Amino acid sequence: MAADGSSARLRGRGLAAALLGLHLFSVLVALEVSVGKTTLVTALNRTRVQLPCTFTTCIGFEKLTFAWYYNTTEKLYQGFIKNKASQPKEEFRDPRVELIGTTTGKENNISISMEVDFSDAGKYTCFVKNPRENKAEANATLTLKVVSVMVPVDNTLTLIILAVVGGVVGFLILIMLIKKIVLLIRRKSQEKKECLVSSSGIDNTDNGLAGSKAEQKAPPKA
């Protein structure tokens, strides 16, 4: 009975380890989709705008499908990619939409571009499905804002911060330079003093001091 209990515990631990390994493997090869560092895109009315999207996978892809949706329901584009060596093939697209990305380069880029007006403002979702990763799915969403006039970004605060930081750094450098100059002057002054002291102890001939030539007696005549 004890042996059976030990075997059961070992099997339980083995199963737990296997499940943990499977979980870690699934995390490692997880499909990821990105729409860039910012999820807000601003565009002028009646202009063409780019909507970025890239995907990554650790084990590659085969027969991958992808799509773009407007406000999660309206399909704008759908494509199919056989493998890494193949270019995306169009299966469906809105007449205004154009695929501008490629998956044969360094990045798996499935970005699109389209001409927009005020009615196109909203959320755009990039969706990817990779059968090679056990039909893993992933998506990312960005928001499009359409404006009549592009407002310049106010960088006043940033400039002030940079100026303050630059001033502090410059002040510290100035202090270091002054310190170096002061130390150099002190060292030169100390060397000069040592030189004067050394000279006064050796050359006293002009003053008739002890050790000078004036005190030396002439040798006796033979």
Give pLDDT tens digits along the chain (222 positions): 555 555 656 565 655 444 444 444 444 458 999 999 999 999 999 999 999 999 999 899 999 999 999 998 999 999 999 999 999 999 999 999 999 999 988 899 999 999 999 999 999 999 999 999 988 999 999 999 999 998 776 667 777 888 888 888 888 898 888 988 988 888 877 776 666 666 555 544 444 444 444 455 555 555
Strand-by-strand arrangement of the 32-34 sheet: 32-34, 54-56, 108-109
Collapse the DSSP code of 177 into the 3-class scheme (helix H, G, I; strand E, B; otherwise coil) and give the result. helix
> What is the pTM for the complete model shown?
0.59
The answer to whether the beta carbons of residues 129 and 136 sit under 8 Å apart is yes
| Domain of residue 121, residue span | 30-147
Total tally of structural domains belonging to the chain: 2
- Give the torsion sign (CA, 178, 184, 188, 193): positive
Query: Are 143 and 43 contained in the same domain?
Result: yes
Q: Would you state the structure tokens that stand for residue 76, as one six-digit string? A: 């704008």
Q: Check whether residue 135 and residue 175 sit in a common domain.
A: no
Q: Give one word for 221, left, alpha or beta, with left for phi > 0 and alpha for psi -120 to 50.
A: beta
- Last residue of one domain, picked from the residues 104, 128, 147: 147
Tracing tokens 């006064």 back to the chain, one arrives at 200
Distance, in Å, from the CA atom of 114 to the CA atom of 50, rounded to the nearest integer, reads 7
Answer yes or no: do 137 and 36 share one domain: yes
